[in-house]
Amino acid sequence: MYRLLFRQVLRRLDAETVHHRTVRGLALLARTPLLKRVLHRALAPHDPALRITAFGVHFPGPLGLAAGFDKDAACAEAVAALGFSHVEVGTITAHAQPGNPRPRLFRLVRERAVVNRMGFNNAGAPAAARRLRRTRGIPAVVGVNIGKTKVVPESEATADYVTSAKELAPLADYLVVNVSSPNTPGLRDLQAVSLLRPLLTAVKEVCDGTPRRTPLLVKIAPDLADEDIDAVADLALELGLDGIIATNTTIAHDGPTGGLSGRPLKARSLEVLRRLRARVGDRLTLVSVGGVEDVDDVWERLLAGATLVQGYTGWIYGGPLWASRIHRQLSRRVRLHRLSSITDIIGRTASP
């Protein structure tokens, strides 16, 4: 049904227009408590065997929505009602900004991929905080992903992230420092340990000062050299971070300028996960994202050492019930393997 709708209608429309209409529809749903609760009951993961606790937060299942869809925290609860175990909102910057000129979002349908150069279009941290403060009608785990305001120079990047963290960390189930999007000039340079150490130290201080001690993760690019991945992993351990999200989109492609996501990213994303797991074992929570399309991909990431998995492009091509379907299939697979908990498979194929 969704495949037909996608082939006949959606793919003919401008990708960003479809995106905004979807967010608007879901924002409306988020403000309709009864429907939201009905959908949540029908579609969210409720199987106790899928429950995962990571950095002190309880997730009803492993598969969440990656950052970039709900940039302004407008519809996170509606997304959770559709079957995602968690929703990462953002990237949110300290100051509102329009992002790059359109067109800036491109579907590569044959490759099951997307290229985007959105450039952190968002209404800014105070506006997101107002939305996050609204009471939640259903249980929804909401992570908040923060980035650098474009006009802020690199020398003031830490202060800019700290402004966002102060506003948003108290409202987040976990906070993510995004230093890996390819569409803000210079942002990925912040992955160098010499720049990343003061940045993460300062943001961590804010997180540690919130009433619930907000967990802090860092999100990295797939284009880092292997030794740089190790260096970020070592730094995360040294600073006592809670986890690493790997990976963001890649610039290693020949399509339109921007970051590539979806199927072509799958192999590298898995490779980065394996490298991280070999480096840190289970001392950090690893969240794997990039090219996840189906239940086999989620299973493979868990086996390779991810505690949580995220997807975005897979949802675009898989349709609104994508996450709900995968969680149902995971439940069946857990029973088939006679496991009492899906957590039993985490890291099983990781090298010791």
Ligand X SMILES: Cc1cc2nc3c(=O)[nH]c(=O)nc-3n(C[C@H](O)[C@H](O)[C@H](O)COP(=O)(O)O)c2cc1C
Residue labelled with tokens 């802090």: 216
Q: Which amino acid is at 122?
A: N
* Token output for 69: 């869809």
Q: Is the CB of residue 149 less than 8 Å from the CB of residue 93? A: yes
Smaller CB separation from ligand X, 61 or 262: 262
CA distance 326 to 87: 16
Instruction: List the catalytic residue out of 85, 164, 180, 181.
Output: 181
- What residues does 108 pair with on adjacent strands? 113
Smaller CB separation from ligand X, 105 or 123: 105
Tell the smallest beta-carbon distance from residue 163 to ligand X (Å): 18
DSSP 238: H
Smaller CB separation from ligand X, 59 or 120: 120
Smaller CB separation from ligand X, 90 or 305: 90
Q: Which amino acid is at 322?
A: W
Smaller CB separation from ligand X, 68 or 170: 68
Tell the smallest beta-carbon distance from residue 40 to ligand X (Å): 23
Those residues whose C-beta lies under 8 Å from the C-beta of residue 227, and which sit 6 or more positions away, are: none
Q: Which residue, 235, 229, 169, 238, is CA-closest to 205? A: 169
Residue in the shown chain whose Cβ atom is closest to ligand X: 68
Q: Is the CB of residue 250 less than 8 Å from the CB of residue 265? A: yes
Tell the smallest beta-carbon distance from residue 303 to ligand X (Å): 18
Rg (CA), the chain: 19
Q: Which residue, 236, 300, 233, is CA-closest to 266? A: 300
Tell the smallest beta-carbon distance from residue 105 to ligand X (Å): 5
What 3-state class would DSSP assign to 311?
strand
Tell the smallest beta-carbon distance from residue 249 to ligand X (Å): 5
Q: How many helices (H) and strands (E) does the chain have?
A: 12, 13
Smaller CB separation from ligand X, 124 or 314: 314
Q: Catalog residues that contact ligand X under the rule CB under 6 A.
A: 66-68, 71, 90-91, 105, 114, 116, 118, 120, 145, 178, 181, 219, 248-249, 261-262, 265, 289-292, 311-314
Q: Pairing between strand 259-262 and 113-116?
A: antiparallel
Q: Which amino acid is at 157?
A: A
At CA 77, angle to CA 73 and CA 82, rounded to 5?
A: 125
Smaller CB separation from ligand X, 62 or 314: 314
CA distance 352 to 348: 9
Tell the smallest beta-carbon distance from residue 314 to ligand X (Å): 5
In the chain the first and final C-alpha atoms are separated, in Å, by: 44
User: Is residue 181 flagged as an active site residue?
Assistant: yes
Tell the smallest beta-carbon distance from residue 242 to ligand X (Å): 16
Catalytic residue ranges = 181
